[in-house]
Amino acid sequence: MNDLNVKDTLALDTLPGIKKIVLLERTTSTQEVARELAFQGGMEGTLVLALTQEAGKGRMGRTWESGRGGIYMTLILEPSIGLKFLTELSLLAGRVAADTLKQLYGLTTRVKLPNDVYALHPQKNKYFKIAGILTETSSINKTPNWILLGVGVNLNNAVSLDTGISVSGILKKEVPREEFLQAFFENFWHIYSAWEYSSESKS
């Protein structure tokens, strides 16, 4: 995997719907690693999770700050849907991230189209970017062969950009990464299944 420092690869039963997790100490981008795995085939439900990224990317090639303490992950999906529904998945994941942040930490959140999540800083009375979604696909005959769902969340990491904020920056305390992952995937699979079924029926 391009000389990446792979810390561990293991089956994980504690995260709903995840068949395998690839945990990286440091990588350029979880999206790049997931892409290599997806091309191997049969990798649906594999989650690539990094503690830090050296070249995390957002939409349109923008840099995503990826210091230690944040959530940087890419999930490999293989839904039986048409490409025209792909943009809906980005919005769906953004809403799941926003709802999970509200559910766990009481944050006031909103989704900014097409793929950003903002949280209200109560002391500053202003919204700051706290999460982002990035989707990528390889398709055959206008049907995705696989989809990469990249999710970045500012959890406990320091954020230098004036437009960004982290959960710990709002709450003034660190929060468990495992807590967010557990809740996120519990929420995600419930909504994802309904979306996939609805998209198939519209095809």
The model's pTM: 0.86
Q: What pLDDT does residue 1 have?
A: 38
Q: Which residues pair with 57 in a beta bridge?
A: 63
**In sequence order, what are the residues at sequence separation of 6 or more whose Cβ sits closer than 8 angstroms to the Cβ of residue 9?**
20, 21, 22, 23
User: Among 19, 197, 195, 166, which Cα is nearest to 96's?
Assistant: 195
Q: What pLDDT does residue 6 have?
A: 45
Q: Give CA–CA dist 71/4, Å, rounded.
A: 18
Q: What pLDDT does residue 155 have?
A: 95
Q: What pLDDT does residue 71 have?
A: 93
Q: Which residues pair with 21 in a beta bridge?
A: 10, 47
Q: What pLDDT does residue 5 have?
A: 43
Q: What pLDDT does residue 86 have?
A: 75
Q: Does the 5-202 domain belong in CATH 3.30.930.10?
A: yes
Domain ranges of the chain: 5-202
Taking 3-state DSSP, the helix, strand and coil percentages for the chain, each rounded to the nearest 5, stand at 35, 35, 35
N-to-C CA span, the chain? 36
Mean pLDDT per 10-residue section of the chain, whose length is 203 residues: 42 77 89 92 93 64 69 91 76 96 97 92 94 84 80 92 90 93 95 80 59
